[in-house]
Amino acid sequence: MKLSLLIWFDNLNYLTPWIKKAKDIGYDAVELFPQYLSLREVSIVKKLLDEHKLEHISCVILPEEVDVASSNDRTRRNGVIFLEHCIDITVKLGGELVTGVIYAPWGKVESKSPKEDWYRSTASLKQVCKYASQFGVKLAIEPINHYRTYLVNTCEDAVKFLEDVGESNLGVHLDTYHMNIEENNFYEPVIAAGKRLYHVHCSESNRGMLGTGHVNWSEFFQALNEVDYQGYLGFEYHTPSIMRVSWKRVAPCMEEVAVRSLHFMKEMCSRYMRK
């Protein structure tokens, strides 16, 4: 089980206590954000991960100034360099997976040339995948809702994107919060992703504690079992400090959210997943 450190977004400048806290709660891995780590911080974080025997997964949110789908050649090239840098950081931390919204800028919801953007984005990601393959690193694109992006909203979109990129180290990263908005159910997208499902975010429909909203967890875990999903189950919760993403606190205590959501995922695994 993996915990996204976004749960303590207010204090991400002080990773030391939160990495230890994740381990103490019972998580096996943490989700980090390489774009926010300096080279000096990388060695400190690596030492912490080794000390607490935690694995890590990198999550990246592409800024607008490094848009890999941009019609501007320099912007697009800078986007490729940006993602390659995130891969370098991931490798230094001992990681093997980079996930997230890496195909278009977070928050860009419309375009005058979506078909051309799609072509440019897939061409850029092909370059990034080839770079990542040198280090044995996989990438996974996360479909997010249409209030946050115009390019990849559903698993069907993501699978088509993978086909157009044509690199075996690119997969899908599904997030149940976004699925709750864009998909018809929680079963078929997982089946559609199949063996190319590299990562999942377990996020409640209200962005709160797992089991308190209306995500159909039974459908989701049944599908994970059927595709024999072997990756981490990542719990993602957003604090109210992440303006433009969350606007209210839907749980009383961050540690309680992390603990109870971990128990929830374990319970669902015990019901639905192969031993």
Per the model's pLDDT, the better-predicted residue between 10 and 107 turns out to be 107
Band (pLDDT 50/70/90 cuts) for residue 14 is low
pLDDT over threshold 90, residue 232: yes
Which residues lie across from 201 on neighbouring strands? 175, 234
Which residues lie across from 233 on neighbouring strands? 200
Band (pLDDT 50/70/90 cuts) for residue 250 is low
Q: What's the confidence (pLDDT) of residue 11?
A: 47
Band (pLDDT 50/70/90 cuts) for residue 247 is very low
CA end-to-end span of the chain, whole Å? 15
Q: What's the confidence (pLDDT) of residue 3?
A: 80
Residues 65-80, mean pLDDT to the nearest whole number: 98
Rounded to whole angstroms, the Cα distance separating 68 from 82 reads 9
pLDDT over threshold 70, residue 13: no
- Rounded (5°) CA angle 112-151-117: 50
pLDDT over threshold 80, residue 251: no
Band (pLDDT 50/70/90 cuts) for residue 238 is low
Per the model's pLDDT, the better-predicted residue between 248 and 23 turns out to be 23
User: Residue 97 is part of which domain span?
Assistant: 2-272
CATH number at residue 265: 3.20.20.150
Residues 122-150, mean pLDDT to the nearest whole number: 98
Instruction: Tell me the C-alpha to C-alpha distance, in Å, between residue 136 and each of 40, 97, 127, 244.
Output: 24, 9, 15, 34
User: What's the number of domains the chain is made of?
Assistant: 1
Lowest mean pLDDT among 65-69, 192-196, 209-213, 240-244: 240-244
Residues 211-225, mean pLDDT to the nearest whole number: 97
Q: Please report how many Cα atoms fall inside a 13 Å half-sphere around the Cα of residue 47, on the Cβ side.
A: 7
DSSP run (H or E) holding 64: none
Which candidate, 207, 269, 266, places its Cα nearest to that of 236?
207
